[in-house]
Structure 1
Amino acid sequence: MRKLRIIGIGAGNPEHLTLQAVRALEQVEAVFVLDKGEVKADLLRLRREICERFITRPFHFVEAQDPERDRNPQDYAAAVEAWHTARAILYETLIDRELGEGGCGAILVWGDPALYDSTLRIVDRIVARGRLALDYDVIPGISSVQALAASHRIALNRIGGPVHITTGRAIADGLPPDAESIVVMLDGDPRFDHLDPELTIYWGAYLGTPNEIVLSGRLGSIASEIRHVRAEARSRHGWIMDTYLLRKPDGR
């Protein structure tokens, strides 16, 4: 049976890897990567750097083009379902071709595999298809949420309070009424005009990397600066990964 290790590699800093992740990499003989094109070449380069730094045995880097995904679908759930299926078939083909019986491979996941990442669902599909005898485990990683809090030197929650983690799509019509600390991920085009200007925002992009940018302040005062800085950084690098925390004023 082949073994697959799903390894969280942190938000961008190779030193975010845990000791457990480093030990897992030492067993790996093949690393499977879906290439997202020239625009995100930095992400591929960092994966290579991590492998070359921590894998001490001979290994091979297996790259394939990521299946196309409709970014503006009429039916979002159906589009994601089709994309996950295409990815599962591709990974299954690569693992079957590149990893022998009893071999150990890895998929390196940005942040933590359990938080807004599709890899675990895709591997579950491979197993459910039953065409490949595959065992796998999951190595947790430092997420962009943790990296954001560390860079701003803040606690995510108020004393005894909850933290709501969601997406940009989910707050398009406003924030959850009872949430006081809201972390927003996967926001491709942050727009803040519909939100309370008295919110405090802690924003960060390229967290953990040499290109890290962090800004914070009253949302009504800093929203336009965040949008400007974000657009300029995206134009310069060709891509951007950012996360932010919104916090309601005391008593709101």
Structure 2
Amino acid sequence: MKKIKECLTAELLRESITQKTKAVVLTSPNNPTGSVYSEIELKEIGEVLLEYPNILIISDEIYDKFVYEGSHFSLPSIFPDLLNRTIITNGFSKVFSMPGWRLGYIAAPLDIAVAISNFQSHATGSPATISQYAGIAAIQNFDNKMVEEYKKRRDLLVNGLNEIGGIRCYMPEGAFYVFPNISNFIGKKYKNVEITSSDVFCSLLLEEQLLSVVPGEAFGEPNNIRLNFAVSNELIHESLNRLKNFTSLID
């Protein structure tokens, strides 16, 4: 299926900025779509932001190593003049598979970093020492073979989804999610139960096939569902079989 870009464009950004705009959030790679900003797209966005010196930029880059097509770009690396008002957020939960270690970090101008540190120290305390050493080890020993394996799983899942009648799924460029469109099933029935939204679709899928996926309503897209391919090939095959069995009974 032809890729559908799900990223903020320079044109949309310019149209959306008002006198009340304090910050712009950029997420690349994106959850749930897997979209990744290209260098050209970030250049266009950066040119707009240069015109608004009072707007902060929050760049969420927690999936930065999981880019399967092209490369990951960070806005300040393209526009150094934006560095003094950019906050880069990242962590170890996704790329390094360390969600339980509760470890993340920011790169920001000193005054902002100090303010965030002061707030955080009164809210949660410091991360455990062992978590910090584990994070250092993770950075020093990252194996890109993991990215290659995830790319294979992505291809397996997307190709399998597009073979199921009624489902349309584009190939994500990054992260480890797919966000297929299931609008063909909205308004139809499964065993006399009308599917009025992706939320209903997901609930029925869980009840009937014990397959858990996330409804698109959680992301403002009621015609989509989110699946995660950070699992084994065997589980991907089994999930596709269960999803196919479920959709075959929708009429």
TM (norm. structure 2) is 0.33
Which structure: larger Rg?
Answer: 2
Give 1 or 2: higher strand fraction.
1
Q: Which one has more relative contact order, counting CA pairs under 8 Å at least 6 apart?
A: 1
TM-score, length basis structure 1: 0.33
